[in-house]
Structures are given as structure tokens and as C-alpha cells.
Structure 1
Amino acid sequence: MNIRIDTADMSYSKQDGYLGHVEFAAEGHPHAYEITLQSKNANDWAYSLNFARESGEEAHIEAVEAALEEDDELFDELVQAAMSRLER
């Protein structure tokens, strides 16, 4: 799946660990997505995927979810985009 990253951010606190957001568009999908990333150690990531601004078709978000689960490089690209914006 080809994506375009629009915005990204990441913060860190001792209490919560790493917390990031990436807004991105997926090729062929009419609505943007936002993924929220959280990790205590920057190795094991939990995430939540949502439409960024307005809801779209459930089939589209399910396709992105499946791509994130199957394609480690895609997921890593999103994590790296957020980590590159880490506020120190």
C-alpha cells in the first residue's frame, strides 16, 4: 500500500513513554487516516487507527488495518515519521 505522510508528531514522558500521531493518506482512498502510536520503550508499539477528519467507508479502514498488520515496512514507516518529530 502506498501512503503519503501529511503530518507527524511524537512526545515522550517518563510516565507515559512515547506517544505519537501520524496523519496520512492511502493511495486510492478518499479520506485521510490518523494513527496514534504508544510505546513505553520505543520497541513494542500499540496503535489506534482512525479516520483523520471525516468518516469514510469501513472497508477502506479495514484495508489499511490489514496492510498495517501484514506489512512491517509500512508500519515502521509510520513509526519513523513520528519518531523523526520527537520533541526533546
Structure 2
Amino acid sequence: MKFNIVEASMHKDSEGAFLGKTVFEVEGHKAAYEVTFFSKRGKEWDYSLNYAHESGIEAQFMQVDAALEEDDDWFDALLEAAQATLEA
């Protein structure tokens, strides 16, 4: 599956935790997705996958969720897009 990043952002909250998101489209999928990231120290990341705008096809959503779980390159590319927006 190929994906295209639409937008990304990341910032630190008042306690120094990292909060970010990346909106992306997957080739052939009806809906765009948004993955949000959270890390207390920027090392271990929690994430949540949602539809970016309107709901899509559940089977396609499950494919994307599985790709994020199983493919480190996918996850890293989406995380790095958000990290790249973090101001030093």
C-alpha cells in the first residue's frame, strides 16, 4: 500500500510530553486517515488511528491499522513527518 502525507504537526505540551498527528491518504482507499502520536519523552510512542474527515470502509481501515502495527517503515515515516514539524 502506498500512502501520501497530507499534513503533519507536533508540539510539546506544558509537561514536556510530545503530541503529534499526521493526516494521510492511502492509494485506492475511500477516506483519509489521521494517526495521532503521544510520548512522554520522545522515545516510546503510543498512537491512535482514526478517519481524518468522514468514515470510510472498515476493511480498509483494518488494513491500515495492521500496516501500522506490522510495518516499522510505515509507522516511522508517519511519525517522522510529524516530528519534522517540531520546533527546536
Report the TM range for the smaller structure's normalisation. over 0.9
Instruction: Kindly tell me the number of residue pairs found equivalent between the two proteins.
Output: 88
Unpaired stretches in structure 1, ≥5 consecutive residues: none
> Which residue type is aligned with residue 44 of structure 1?
E
Matches for 1:29-48 after TM superposition, within 5 Å: 29-48=29-48
Matches for 1:52-63 after TM superposition, within 5 Å: 52-63=52-63
Secondary structure of the residue aligned to 1:78 is helix
What residue number does 1:27 align with?
27
Matches for 1:1-88 after TM superposition, within 5 Å: 1-15=1-15, 17-88=17-88
Distance in 1 of aligned mates of 2:42 and 2:58: 30
Q: List structure 1 runs of 4+ shifted beyond 2 angstroms.
A: none
| Offset from partner CA, 1:35-72 (integer Å, 9 cap, x none) | 01001111111011001000011111100000001100
Distance in 2 of aligned mates of 1:13 and 1:54: 28
Q: How does the TM-score come out when normalised to structure 2?
A: 0.94
Contact 2:30 2:57 (C-alpha < 8 Å) held by counterparts = no
| Identity among equivalent pairs (%) | 48
* Cα distance, 1:87 vs structure 2: 3.2
* Cα distance, 1:16 vs structure 2: 5.3
Unpaired stretches in structure 2, ≥5 consecutive residues: none
Q: How does the TM-score come out when normalised to structure 1?
A: 0.94
